Amino acid sequence: MSGGYQFLRARHVKYLRRCLQVLPFSAVTFDTSRMTVLYFALSGLDLLEELELEETERRHIIDWIYSLQILPTEDKDQLACAGFRGGTSLRSCHSAGTCTDVVSLFDCGHITMTYTALASLIILGDDLSLVDRKAVLAHVATLQCPDGSFFSTRGGSENDMRFMYCAAAICYILQDFSAVNINSAIQYVLNSMSYEGAMGQGRHLEAHGGSTYCGVATLHLMGHLHTALSKAQHDKMLRWLVWRQNGGGLQGRPNKPSDTCYTFWIGATLKLLGGLELVDTSALRQFVLSTQDPITGGLAKYSDAHPDGLHTYLGLAGLALLSKDPLRPIDPALNISQRALSHLHSLHRAHGLTTVTSTTNDNNYSH
């Protein structure tokens, strides 16, 4: 498109390929969440139609992901802490045989890392045959709180909308929602709606673009989006989301600057609610492109910040929603490409499972 920032596709491909291979020392704080970094790189390259891996490299990545799966053992009840680790750091004491009960509490599956591990396997074309479904679902079940929300890990953590979304995504991928009290989960989402019309991380908390996405996507993945929300709630939420456009970009909440990542969080929520066309998508695209690094590639939080894996991926995911650049279409609820989603659905059919779905742009609300 003329008259504005241009999409630096080739540079973003190089940036994400570097993220897939080696990270700078400044990224050492991400060591315990390397699974998410892998997911950002893989899914970003998939959207760019550049996920061209040699079979040996693809197999190596798949094996690495499975190496971080925590499997139940005979001498320890690990069903409660199964799932996937975020990285190899917390596993090191086991290989050395020096773990104590206190230390081993930290070597526990994490619900976000489990979601991104499963999503990455799907993106890579794996058949999920090595996933211990029973253990993963048992872990998810132990994390749900009485109010319907979820902890991130058995060792104790915050419990809010983020981890509820991860639980819903895991159950959708495995097509088994038996680990979730769906009625409690839906009630938690509805109770998290603020007077503003959108959702906070929990009851009586400020409405936020990220938590609103997690709540709406959770309802969608459970197949209850258009039965749980009333028409009045839907319309009020749409208005709040549209009002988040600020200077071209989208902000996470009022009185905050626009941020690249909300192109996906807000954009995907609008897509699920059937209202993406209500924002100025051309201005939104230009804001996202203004955050590109013309030298190293990648996208940043703001135009004057350094690029990082999270904002690079979510910026690309947001652009994929807008359908204005050479990017694969993206599923707004599961946050993977439509190509990867088709592979997942083929796995469901192969196992005789009926995929739970709710129509993205169906505005027929129940009451």
Residue bearing the bigger pLDDT, 352 or 252: 252
Domain ranges of the chain: 31-242+340-357, 246-325
Cα–Cα distance measured from residue 234 to residue 253, given in angstroms and rounded to the nearest whole number: 18
Cα–Cα distance measured from residue 342 to residue 344, given in angstroms and rounded to the nearest whole number: 5
Say whether pLDDT at 25 is over 80.
no
pLDDT tens string 308-360: 999 999 999 999 999 999 999 999 999 999 999 999 999 999 988 877 653 34
Determine which of 155-164, 281-290, 315-324 has the lowest per-residue pLDDT on average.
155-164
Say whether pLDDT at 93 is over 60.
no
CATH architecture, domain defined by 31-242+340-357: Alpha/alpha barrel (1.50)
Number of H helices and E strands in the chain, helices first, is 16, 8
Residue 327 Cα distances to 45, 180, 215, 318, 345, angstroms:
10, 34, 26, 10, 21
Say whether pLDDT at 71 is over 50.
yes
Residue bearing the bigger pLDDT, 223 or 364: 223
- The whole-number pLDDT of residue 217 equals 98
- Which residues lie across from 307 on neighbouring strands? 300
pLDDT band for 103, please (50, 70, 90 cuts).
Answer: very low
Cα–Cα distance measured from residue 98 to residue 306, given in angstroms and rounded to the nearest whole number: 40
CA 29 to chain CA centroid, Å, is: 20
Instruction: State the sign of the Cα–Cα–Cα–Cα dihedral 170, 173, 177, 178.
Output: negative
Contact 253, 262 (CB under 8 A): no
Residue 302 Cα distances to 256, 289, 308, 324, 336, angstroms:
12, 10, 11, 21, 24
Which segments of the chain are extended strands (E)?
69-70, 83-84, 150-151, 159-160, 245-246, 249-250, 330-331, 336-337
**Mean pLDDT for all residues in the chain:** 90
pTM across the whole model: 0.93
The encoded tokens of residue 236 equal 């009020």
Residue 194 Cα distances to 201, 212, 235, 251, angstroms:
10, 10, 14, 17
